[in-house]
Amino acid sequence: MSDILLIGPKKMVEPLAACGIDIQACGSRAQGCEIIGKTVHPIIFITERLAFELPEEIRSAEEKGANIVVLPDHRGSTGYYQERLSHLIKRATGAAKV
């Protein structure tokens, strides 16, 4: 088992299994909830569109110590990653209340 998990559309994640990371194909919010709820991986890569639908699950996983990295998928960026990154930078620098 790898320390890294990639969650996203089947066509995107399957080819990356050859890299030695664990993959979980996910096509719905319900599947995403189940995958994130059960994972023990310390590093999770998840596509923007899916992450946008799972804010509470992501927050819960981060509270348990997981590091969540949001990536654009094959359809391009939605802007969610940029918004999330901006918020994290503000928190890290003390510019935003936690």
| Domain-wise residue ranges, the chain | 4-93
Distance CA 56, CA 74 (A): 24
**CATH superfamily to which 4-93 belongs:** ATPase, V1 complex, subunit F (3.40.50.10580)
Check residue 54 and report its DSSP letter: -
Residues of the chain with pLDDT under 70: 74, 76, 96-98
Angle at the Cα of 26 (from 53 to 84), degrees rounded to 5?
A: 35
Question: pLDDT at position 98, please?
Answer: 52
